[in-house]
């Protein structure tokens, strides 16, 4: 745990006592703050109280005595309307911050030279975060990984000159971190997302840009320039005097890092230096993963890793659980868990990487359905439809792809495995890429992906993927 001493001797309110909120409260208490925690869920309050966090209804708090409100990232800050706790804090002139901001302040106070990599983007930030940490660990570095990817940032080990924090930051977390100042900041890409939280695409993009705009004066901003929003951000930040490394997975660059024909290259002033080759790395298939890998390689180079070390790490990267995760093989048949694909755009990234696909799709539907996936139908041998969306998906597929309404995941896996084994395809792929939320049958996409993995690994003759 990271002790937060920057609020020692002062009162701090913490609203939202889930994982990151509890970690924030505990870190503040350990650092000598007077903490008051609260949540709109009485059961969550009771759990926090039993864990030793002082709790009291913040409606009744004397806000003139509060130094800061630490807000959990999922609690609305501005849109669709500010949460009542944020309104009370602002009315009293109390700053509203989050756990990433607490980390930043503690790092500056104790050891500002400690390496800190912060990563964001609309798509690919979890894979890129996991990949940067993997490259560092393969090179023998002490890499602490957390933030939006899973472990709350304040639950990690404290910063130090020989320890590198690799943190995934959502737009919600950046919004609550006004002095975010990584030594290496990574912005992968931008497209419309979370507009219910930020109001407009411009506001959303501005929040994301803050992560790379705030890099330390001697730091590096790494920015994917394959979309107009990020390309403009790179120009602005470079004009402000920060060191910017542009990254592309679409075209070569004169200066920066780019992926082309499965090769990652570093360019400077017209010269070209090979960094790594992605050919044959199953966990990094597709253009989207080439962008992730190029951003991760750029971050690793900024931290002093060699090209040889980066290539070695890329080749051993196991991939992110539930995102194009290769969970088993039986003869020619490959089984891939892409449960994290909870909408059509995300599923498209996996479908673009394979042919001979036996596609398991469905769940709790999202707006738009799968009409946008029609260009990938020729890659499919058959579809196995599950959950609430099954009948609607069957209608959208029509006569373009053979399908069966399997209903449940276990039946879909059984049917797909049987059909794939009988296929004439060179490498048949049983792909769970649902293009749907999981909530009709599973608590979350992780539970759904775990269920798929277990079903596959229970098939006689299935082995690991090497």
CB–CB of 103/2 below 8 Å?
Answer: yes
339 DSSP 8-state letter? T
Q: Looking at residue 194, what is its pLDDT?
A: 59
Please, what's the b/e burial string for 295-314 (b: 16 or more CB within 10 A of its CB; e: otherwise)? bbbbbbbbbebebebbbebb
What local confidence, expressed as pLDDT, does residue 306 receive? 97
pLDDT of residue 389: 96
- Residues 172, 73 contacting (CB under 8 angstroms): yes
What residues in the chain have per-residue pLDDT under 70?
A: 192-198, 466
CA distance 316 to 300: 15
Task: Give the full edge-to-edge strand order of the sheet including 263-268.
Answer: 142-147, 163-168, 116-120, 184-187, 220-224, 243-248, 256-260, 263-268, 271-277
- The predicted pLDDT at position 433 comes to 97
List the structure tokens of 346.
């995300």
Domains of the chain are 11-97 (3.40.50.720), 101-315 (3.40.1190.10), 325-457 (3.90.190.20)
């Amino acid at each position: 745990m990271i002790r937060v001493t920057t609020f020692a001797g002062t009162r701090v309110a913490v609203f939202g006592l889930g994982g990151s909120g509890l970690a924030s409260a505990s870190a503040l208490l350990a650092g000598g703050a007077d903490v008051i925690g609260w949540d709109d869920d009485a059961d969550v309050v009771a759990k926090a109280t039993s864990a030793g966090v002082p709790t009291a209804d913040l409606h009744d708090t004397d806000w003139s005595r509060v130094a800061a409100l630490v807000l959990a990232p999922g609690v609305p800050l501005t849109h669709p309307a500010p949460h009542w706790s944020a309104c009370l804090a602002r009315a009293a002139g109390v700053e509203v911050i989050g756990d990433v901001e607490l980390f930043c302040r503690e790092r500056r106070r104790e050891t500002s030279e400690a390496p800190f990599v912060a990563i964001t983007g609309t798509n690919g930030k979890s894979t890129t975060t996991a990949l940067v940490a993997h490259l560092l660990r393969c090179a023998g570095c002490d890499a602490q990984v957390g933030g939006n990817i899973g472990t709350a940032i304040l639950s990690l080990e404290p910063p130090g000159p020989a320890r590198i924090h690799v943190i995934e930051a959502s737009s919600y977390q950046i919004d609550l971190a006004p002095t975010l100042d990584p030594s290496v900041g990574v912005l992968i890409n931008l497209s419309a997302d979370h507009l219910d939280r930020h109001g407009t695409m411009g506001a959303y993009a501005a929040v994301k840009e803050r992560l790379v705009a705030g890099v330390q004066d001697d730091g590096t901003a790494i920015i994917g320039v394959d979309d107009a929003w990020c390309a403009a951000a790179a120009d602005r930040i470079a004009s402000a005097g920060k060191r910017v490394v542009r990254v592309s997975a679409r075209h070569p660059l004169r200066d920066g890092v780019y992926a082309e024909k499965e090769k990652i290259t570093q360019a400077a002033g017209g010269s070209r230096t090979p960094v790594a080759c992605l050919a044959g790395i199953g966990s990094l298939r597709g253009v989207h993963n080439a962008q992730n890998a190029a951003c991760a390689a750029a971050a690793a180079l900024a931290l002093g890793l060699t090209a040889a070390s980066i290539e070695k790490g890329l080749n051993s990267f196991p991939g992110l659980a539930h995102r194009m995760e290769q969970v088993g093989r039986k003869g020619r048949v490959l089984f891939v868990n892409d449960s994290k694909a909870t909408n059509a755009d995300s599923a498209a990234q996996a479908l673009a990487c394979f042919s001979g696909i036996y596609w398991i799709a469905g769940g709790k539907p999202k707006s738009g359905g799968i009409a946008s996936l029609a260009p990938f139908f020729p890659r499919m041998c058959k579809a196995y439809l599950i959950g609430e969306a099954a009948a609607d998906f069957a209608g959208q597929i029509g006569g373009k792809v053979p399908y069966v309404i399997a209903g449940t995941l276990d039946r879909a896996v059984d049917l797909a495995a049987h059909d794939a084994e009988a296929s004439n395809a060179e490498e048949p792929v049983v792909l769970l890429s649902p293009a749907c939320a999981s909530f009709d049958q599973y608590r979350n996409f992780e539970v759904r992906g775990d269920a798929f993995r277990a079903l596959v690994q229970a098939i006689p003759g299935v082995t690991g993927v090497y």
